[in-house]
């Protein structure tokens, strides 16, 4: 693991001001569980796992009012678990923060490795559950493998969980990249950028750019939706809803995954008034990229200020990629020349170090 931090620390009008950006090297292949991540915090989802190889990805979500339920992983012939992760969101506007063991997977208490306040007065949590998931999956028959999720603390305090499993898949013929992102998008607008190790080759028949979002505390049909723009073009205005849960606080969860289609919403400006299933939060980014592109920019906004975008997954078929968090301008000095100068200096330093490393 390579970890670099740029830190500019100055005094602005008597107040200490710090610009800090952690760069996580995602170019290696293998175990990512030892990563130290200092900037998983409300303000942006960021990449926490990157894997490349003959791999596939299985994602499922579960929101429930009851204490326990089933979450699934799809297994193809010869498949084994490379790594598995569980994301959990507590119920909006409860300020509930989970402890280790408050959620169980197949009766085993889950231990959190990252957690962050959300933008809606709740908490998001992240765990590595490879050791819980692997042996059952590896020995299972082809098809759906069931795991029992138990919300040991009050179920009304937990909106739901997302299980993302990266699978060694002998049916894959080319190297793919999976990137999992976790954190908390700001409801008032937040961005992240996908950097591609090789330029997009739209003539490659194996090229796939599937994109998934995980959202909690969104109920539809209402005015609760997130809009998503990709490279400045609207992808959806109806992300959200309780697709993988129930229409009840403490069960509001959706994620693009099993039983969803990567078809994009036919009307990208349709808001969430039709219902949760108009948009299943699984998307195809191919229509948004051009041959030779090396970056993809994604911007989310939740006009109702009460939905929590806390997870994303990218599946790059036949492509290698890394993902950068949005470089946010700190709130305090925005509008002052000093602040802008500091931001530009930090951005230049960040860019220099990043491209020194990656190219
Ligand atoms: Ca619940
Ligand atoms: Ca779903
Ligand atoms: Ca879809
Ligand atoms: Ca939905």
pLDDT tens-place string over residues 273-317: 889 999 999 999 999 999 999 888 899 999 998 999 999 999 999
Burial pattern 297-323, b for ≥16 Cβ within 10 A else e, equals ebbbbbbbebbbbbbbbbbbbbbebbb
Q: How far is CA 211 from CA 276, 285, 313, in A?
A: 18, 7, 6
Note whether 210 and 315 are within 8 A (CB): yes
- Structural tokens at position 52: 């490349």
pLDDT attached to residue 207: 92
The pLDDT of 150-173, averaged and rounded, is: 96
How many Å lie between the centroid of ligand 1 and the Cα of residue 153? 9
3-state secondary structure the chain: CCEEEEEEEEEECCEEEEEEEEEECCCCCCCCCCCCCCCCEECEEEEEEEEEECEEEEEEEECCCCCEEEEEEEECCCCEEEEEEEEEEECCCCCCCCCCCCEEECCEECCCCEEEECCCCCEEEEEECHHHHHHHHHCCCCEEEEEEEEECCCHHHEEEEEEEEEEECCCCCCCEEEEEEEEECCCCCEEEEEEECCCCCCCCCCCEEEEEEEEECCCCCCCCCEEEEECCEEEEEEECCCCCCCCCCCCCEEECCCCCCCCCCCCCCCCCCCCHHHCCCEEECHHHCCCCCCEEEEEEECCCCCCEEEEEEEEEECCCEEEEECCCCCCCCCCCHHHHHHHHHHHHHHHHHHHHHHC
Instruction: Please state, rounded to an integer, the average pLDDT across all residues of the chain.
Output: 81
Region of poorest pLDDT, from 70-74, 84-88, 150-154, 344-348: 344-348
Q: Which ligand is nearest to the CA of 275?
A: 4
Residue 156: exposed, middle, or buried by beta-carbon count in 10 A (0-12, 13-18, 19+)? middle
How many Å lie between the centroid of ligand 3 and the Cα of residue 266? 9
Q: How far apart are the first and last CA of the chain?
A: 17
How many Å lie between the centroid of ligand 3 and the Cα of residue 293? 23
Given a cut of 60, whether residue 327 has pLDDT beyond it is no
How many Å lie between the centroid of ligand 2 and the Cα of residue 214? 9
Q: Which ligand is nearest to the CA of 102?
A: 1
pLDDT attached to residue 137: 98
Residue ranges with CB less than 5 Å from ion ligand 4? 241, 243, 254, 276, 279
How many Å lie between the centroid of ligand 1 and the Cα of residue 162? 13
Residue 58, beta-bridge partner list: 165
Residue ranges with CB less than 5 Å from ion ligand 1? 155, 158, 250
pLDDT higher at 8 or 246: 246
pLDDT attached to residue 38: 41
How many Å lie between the centroid of ligand 2 and the Cα of residue 340? 41
42-85 pLDDT, tens digit each: 567 888 898 999 999 999 999 999 999 999 999 999 999 999 99
Q: Which ligand is nearest to the CA of 278?
A: 4
Region of poorest pLDDT, from 30-39, 207-216, 344-353: 30-39
How many Å lie between the centroid of ligand 4 and the Cα of residue 213? 10
How many Å lie between the centroid of ligand 3 and the Cα of residue 321? 22
Region of poorest pLDDT, from 43-52, 163-172, 346-355: 346-355
Given a cut of 90, whether residue 357 has pLDDT beyond it is no
pLDDT attached to residue 178: 94
Given a cut of 50, whether residue 350 has pLDDT beyond it is no
Given a cut of 80, whether residue 139 has pLDDT beyond it is yes
The pLDDT of 126-155, averaged and rounded, is: 97
How many Å lie between the centroid of ligand 4 and the Cα of residue 238? 7
Given a cut of 90, whether residue 128 has pLDDT beyond it is yes
Q: Which ligand is nearest to the CA of 256?
A: 2
- The structure's pTM equals 0.80
CA separation for the pair 274, 104 (Å, rounded): 34
How many Å lie between the centroid of ligand 4 and the Cα of residue 24? 31
Please, which residues have CB within 8 angstroms of residue 135's CB and are 6 or more apart in sequence? Answer: none
Residue 255, beta-bridge partner list: 214
How many Å lie between the centroid of ligand 1 and the Cα of residue 256? 19
Please, which residues have CB within 8 angstroms of residue 312's CB and are 6 or more apart in sequence? Answer: 45, 180, 181, 192, 211, 212, 213, 214
Given a cut of 50, whether residue 2 has pLDDT beyond it is no
Given a cut of 50, whether residue 337 has pLDDT beyond it is no
Q: Which ligand is nearest to the CA of 284?
A: 3
Q: Which ligand is nearest to the CA of 241?
A: 4
pLDDT band at 255 (very low <50, low <70, confident <90, very high): very high
Among 298, 260, 266, 267, which Cα is nearest to 281's?
A: 260
How many Å lie between the centroid of ligand 2 and the Cα of residue 219? 14
pLDDT attached to residue 186: 86
Q: Which ligand is nearest to the CA of 235?
A: 3
pLDDT higher at 82 or 199: 82
pLDDT band at 197 (very low <50, low <70, confident <90, very high): confident
82-127 pLDDT, tens digit each: 999 999 999 999 999 999 999 999 999 999 999 999 989 999 999 9
Q: How far is CA 103 from CA 97, 127, 150, 181, in A?
A: 12, 11, 6, 20
Q: Which ligand is nearest to the CA of 283?
A: 3
């Amino acid at each position: 693991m390579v970890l670099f931090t740029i830190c500019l620390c100055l005094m602005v009008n008597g107040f200490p001001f710090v610009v800090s950006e952690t760069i996580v090297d995602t170019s290696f292949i293998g175990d990512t569980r030892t990563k130290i991540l200092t900037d998983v915090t409300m303000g942006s989802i960021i990449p926490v796992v990157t894997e490349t190889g003959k791999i596939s990805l299985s994602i499922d979500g579960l929101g429930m009012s009851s204490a326990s339920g089933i979450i699934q992983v799809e297994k193809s012939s010869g498949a084994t678990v490379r790594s598995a992760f569980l994301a959990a969101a507590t119920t909006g506007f409860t300020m509930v923060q989970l402890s280790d063991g408050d959620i169980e997977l197949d009766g085993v208490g889950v231990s959190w490795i990252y957690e962050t306040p959300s933008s809606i007065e709740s908490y998001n949590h992240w765990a590595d559950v490879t050791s819980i998931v692997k042996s059952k999956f590896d020995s299972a028959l082809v098809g759906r493998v069931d795991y029992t999720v138990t919300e040991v603390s009050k179920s009304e305090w937990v909106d739901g969980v997302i299980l993302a499993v990266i699978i060694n898949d002998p049916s894959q013929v080319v190297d793919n990249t999976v990137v999992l992102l976790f954190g908390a998008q700001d409801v008032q607008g937040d961005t992240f950028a996908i950097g591609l190790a090789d330029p997009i080759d739209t003539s490659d028949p194996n090229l796939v750019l599937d994109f998934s979002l995980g959202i909690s505390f969104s109920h539809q049909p209402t005015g609760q939706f997130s809009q998503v723009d990709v490279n400045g073009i609207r992808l959806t205005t109806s992300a959200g809803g309780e697709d993988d849960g129930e229409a009840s606080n403490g069960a509001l969860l959706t994620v693009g995954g099993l039983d969803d289609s990567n078809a994009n919403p036919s009307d990208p400006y349709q808001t969430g008034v039709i219902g949760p299933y108009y948009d299943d939060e699984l998307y195809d980014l191919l229509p948004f990229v051009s041959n030779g592109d090396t970056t993809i920019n994604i911007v989310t906004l939740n006009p109702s200020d009460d939905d929590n975008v806390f997870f994303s997954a990218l599946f790059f078929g036949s492509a290698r990629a890394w993902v950068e968090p949005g470089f946010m301008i700190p709130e305090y000095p925005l509008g002052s020349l000093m602040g802008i100068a500091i931001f530009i200096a930090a951005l230049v330093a960040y860019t220099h170090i990043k491209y020194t490393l990656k190219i």
